[in-house]
Amino acid sequence: MKSELLKRSISSLFLISLVFLSALINDYIFLSILFIVVILSWIEWIKVIEKIRFKKIYRIIHIILFLMYLLIAFIICFNVFVIDKYFFLTILMICVFSDVGGYVFGKTFGGKKLTKISPNKTVSGSIGSFILSYIGFFVIYLYFGDLLFVRLQIEALVFIPFFISLICQLGDLFISYFKRRAKIKNTGNLIPGHGGLLDRIDGSIFALPIGFIIISLF
């Protein structure tokens, strides 16, 4: 566990640094990286779907629908980033803390399994995701608060971490379901300690665009 946790920590630190530095240095570099992430995620998705015993027409439908979703998600994230990059990064960090909380709490406390879809997911891990989401959100929000163009109501501050973490966890389970159907552990081996890129961002690709839509309602 220590070896896996070390690899995961180093990979996470590198990815977070890459995201934040590119976003703060040059908007075009960041958006280019974001688009590359979309394409690489789609390629990994294709490999997952190809391993499932679907009829050819169903494989094509799954592949096309996921690409359409990723492109819509990219457009939503693109617009939010252009309007307020610090708000975008704040919400992104909730996803990161949610993922870290789920992994650390799940490995540390173990306990009852959350669902059969993903045997490694535990109730303690889910609770940890929510806890660290709140901690991460308020730490980052306090740091970026004065830089945010978007001004949030107090209700939003209370519910945002919960909704983002919840969508992250559901997104993780969604991808896990298809990995289980494909009988694979990871979507790839691009990132040490994580597996494929889709393994790392499975929650974020759903939480970011859907989260922004929910937040816009406040």
Asked whether 160 and 215 are in contact (CB, 8 A), the reply is yes
Of 204 and 118, the one with more pLDDT: 204
What's the pLDDT at 7? 67
15-41 pLDDT per residue, tens: 778 888 888 888 899 999 999 999 999
The pair of three-digit structure tokens given for residue 26, joined into one six-digit string: 């040059």
Of 12 and 124, the one with more pLDDT: 124
124-176 pLDDT per residue, tens: 999 999 999 999 888 887 777 666 656 666 667 788 899 999 999 999 999 99
Asked whether 93 and 136 are in contact (CB, 8 A), the reply is yes
As a whole number of angstroms, the distance between CA 203 and CA 39 comes to: 16
What's the pLDDT at 149? 58
Asked whether 151 and 174 are in contact (CB, 8 A), the reply is no
The pair of three-digit structure tokens given for residue 120, joined into one six-digit string: 């490694």
The pair of three-digit structure tokens given for residue 75, joined into one six-digit string: 């457009």
Residue 80 scores a pLDDT above 60: yes
As a whole number of angstroms, the distance between CA 96 and CA 101 comes to: 9
End-to-end CA distance of the chain: 41
Spell out the residues 6+ positions from residue 198 whose beta carbon is closer than 8 angstroms to its own. Answer: 41, 44, 45, 48, 175, 187, 188
Q: Determine the residue type at 118.
A: S
The pair of three-digit structure tokens given for residue 130, joined into one six-digit string: 């929510």
Asked whether 30 and 23 are in contact (CB, 8 A), the reply is yes
Give CA torsion, residues 176, 179, 184, 187, to 10 deg: -90
Spell out the residues 6+ positions from residue 73 whose beta carbon is closer than 8 angstroms to its own. Answer: 38, 205, 206, 208, 209
Q: 3-state DSSP call for residue 196?
A: coil
What's the pLDDT at 184? 92
Average pLDDT over every residue of 169-185: 93
Of 191 and 112, the one with more pLDDT: 112
What's the pLDDT at 165? 95
What's the pLDDT at 4? 65
